Amino acid sequence: MCGIVGYTGHREAYPIVIKGLKRLEYRGYDSTGVALLNGGLKVYKKKGRVADLEEFLVGKDLHSHIGIGHTRWATHGEPSDRNAHPHTSNSGKLTMIHNGIIENYAQIKKELLTKGYTFTSDTDTEVLLNFIEDIKENNECNLEEAVRVALKRITGAYCILLLDEADPETIIAARKGSPLVIGVGKGEHFLGSDASPMLEYTKEVVYINDYELAIVRPDELILKNLGNEKITPFVTKLDLKLAAIEKGGYEHFMLKEIFEQPSTILDCLRGRLDASAGMITMSGVQQNIEAFKTAGRIIIVACGTSWHAGLLAEYIIEELCRIPVEVEYASEFRYRNPVINKGDIIIAISQSGETADTLVAINRAKEQGAIIFGIVNVVGSSIARLSNGGAYTHAGPEIGVASTKAFTGQLAVLTMMALKIAKEKGTIADERYTQLLFELESVPEKVEALLKNADAIEAIAEKYKDASDALFLGRGYNFPIALEGALKLKEISYIHAEGYPAAEMKHGPIALVTATLPVVFIATNDTYHEKIISNIQEIKARKGKVIAIITEGDDVIPGLADDVFYVPAADEIIAPILSCVPLQLLSYYMGIARGVDVDKPRNLAKSVTVE
């Protein structure tokens, strides 16, 4: 999951490339570099952030009208100057950046070493570049043909951009499994892992598909498949605004995106939910409604936070629609030999729409005839385009590595889907249906209300910021939120945290409870409230510290817990969309208190496009 940027046209390339890298830094940030071409190739790269590279380049000759740039999340080879991209071929005439993993690079490297090639890095990228050069030299073909031949002989995932010193206007690009967007301007073209580097220059973009190769010049974009057949580029219009990818006055993207949730949830519901009319309009669901009504089973595949949304969907869909649901980690599902029956529906949940494991999982399922329904945030992303039908979460670009507003968007979409299907199947009483529609419609204002008390969460975070471990417990619909709260805390504050079904504590984990262990209960009013109170008492009896997310008006748990945070009352099916928000804030403020760069936590990247 690296960030890739390219430009060829009439403007100075460096400013566009370096600003584009800053916009893509959330995809990887352990090392970075740029290559410019003016008279000869100039490659500058180093370990560290884009800002470090920018400082390093002050005073250097950066004049060029063509350039490529890369910000890395290390796969092969530790973060270092020599492993940073761009890489240069043995001849010094070719340079390349790459997002992905070449799985058979070791064999290729061995062959190249016997031919006398040398390598300055540990990366698979440098191997692929010299493989291309070797083919170009030995087959006496042009670079485009050499790239095509090489890509047919490698296995793995790639998005590559190449420059050839002999061709000062052309960028050759290709992708399989890692995203690539090309922006079309007047006498110029922009390339990026997503649209953010080109947004201020053009809204006309072409999403490149797997196994496609692009020859990009200022006035020309030629698209071909690996069989050398021309493809007509399909230009679509972006509806993103620049402000959506800026911090908007917040210190971090993560905080901005947490506070955006009243409006992003509203955007998700807009045009779909009309509680007064008792209507849910979701064209993607409607087009597949017969398949949903007759589905023998729904299999949800996802990773990370999106998997937690899927787990909550299992509870909601089974309760409302009476359809059996299985939730699978995409990374496990794709390697197993899963049984997929005729009539099974696969729901793929993904913020980025590019997660490699989820992509492969749905390809596997598609091969076995399953219908794929994608719930995705990034418009035009690979999973969205692979799905038979779908629903966008409309949360806007999510830049913070920790998924927050996309998660609540996923929950809103999944809840609407379940209600729509249940209504169509007749498995929900009219009164219950109407009640839940109005409950869902009130979520944005309830999130707005609880965000006003963010400083209460900040105080709790300050109190527990030195904890080394934490437990998150919930029952029923709140169990997936316990898992999500634990993941947030892990990835943002680096505190080891585990989520558990609250009742599971007595089967072992309660041995962990000590006076220094914070235990977070998601304990909003629901079917299990009495039981969760008993669980809190079990923890208190062992001197554990209890933080409880509770419903306004709860007058029992405040007498038991060490710290509480109130959320507005809501039906137990709807409450998780509210109770996850204070947990997002808890991880944010604990991360800040511990000095973590919360938008770019160590070892992570926003979109896991490698397997």
Which pair of tokens denotes residue 244?
A: 């959506």
Q: Name the minimum Å distance from CB 358 to ligand AGP.
A: 5
Residues 581-610 that bind ligand AGP (CB under 6 A): 607-608
Rounded to an integer, what distance in angstroms lies between the CA atom of residue 230 and that of residue 58?
42
We find the least distance from the C-beta atom of residue 304 to ligand AGP, in angstroms, to be: 2
When the beta carbons of 133 and 484 are compared against ligand AGP, the nearer one is 484
Token pair for residue 171? 């960028």
Smallest gap, in angstroms, from Cβ of residue 376 to ligand AGP?
A: 8
Does residue 305 belong to the site contacting ligand AGP (CB under 6 A)? yes
Residue 385, CA distances (Å) to 309, 390, 394, 507 in order = 21, 9, 16, 44
Q: Which of 188, 183, 191, 184 is nearest to 218 (CA)?
A: 188
State which residue, 355 or 387, has the beta carbon closest to ligand AGP.
355
Beta carbon of residue 523, minimum distance to ligand AGP (angstroms, whole number): 23
- From the list 334, 395, 391, the residue with the least C-alpha distance to 359 is 334
Backbone angles phi, psi at 44, to 5 degrees: -125, 125
Site for ligand AGP in 396-435 (CB under 6 A): 401-403
Q: Is 495 in the site for ligand AGP (CB under 6 A)?
A: no
Per CB under 6 A, the list member of 303, 411, 436, 610 interacting with ligand AGP is 303
CB 309 to ligand AGP: min, Å: 9
Please state, in angstroms and rounded to a whole number, the distance separating the CA atoms of residues 560 and 550.
Answer: 12
Contact by Cβ (8 Å): 477, 573: yes
Q: 221 vs 406, which CB is nearer to ligand AGP?
A: 406
Distance of closest approach, residue 352 Cβ to ligand AGP, in angstroms? 3
Cα separation, 380 vs 236, whole angstroms: 9
Buried b (16+ CB within 10 A) or exposed e, 319-357: bbbebebebbbbbebbeeebebeeebbbbbbbbbbbbbb
Query: Which one, 288 or 410, has the nearer CB to ligand AGP?
Result: 410
Selecting among 109, 176, 420, 606, the annotated active-site residue is 606
Piece of 345-353, 359-367, 560-568, 569-577 that binds ligand AGP (CB under 6 A) = 345-353
Phi, psi for residue 499 in degrees, rounded to 5? -105, 140
The one-character DSSP state at 51 is: H
8 binds ligand AGP (CB under 6 A): no
Query: What backbone phi and psi angles, to 5 degrees, belong to 577?
Result: -65, -30
The question of whether 159 is a catalytic residue gets the answer no
Confirm whether 60 is a catalytic residue: no
Interaction of residue 306 with ligand AGP, rule CB under 6 A:
yes
Under the binding rule (CB under 6 A), the answer on residue 350 touching ligand AGP is: yes
Question: Applying CB under 6 A, what is the total number of residues that bind ligand AGP?
Answer: 15
From 94-102, 187-195, 304-312, 496-504, span contacting ligand AGP (CB under 6 A)? 304-312
Output the CA–CA distances (angstroms, integers) from residue 532 to 313, 476, 489, 501, 575, in the order listed.
22, 10, 22, 10, 15
Instruction: Go through 582-610 and write b for each residue having 16 or more CB atoms within 10 A of its CB, e for each that does not.
Output: bbbbbbbbbbbbbebebbbbeebbbbbbb
User: Considering only 63-71, 278-286, 302-310, 443-451, which stretch makes contact with ligand AGP by CB under 6 A?
Assistant: 302-310
**Given 2, 268, 303, 580, the catalytic residue:** 2
Q: Which residues contact 288 (CB under 8 A, 6 or more apart)?
A: 345, 371, 373, 388, 389
Residues 357-376 that bind ligand AGP (CB under 6 A): 358
Chain residues binding ligand AGP by CB under 6 A are: 303-306, 350-352, 355, 358, 401-403, 491, 607-608
Residue numbers annotated as active site: 2, 606
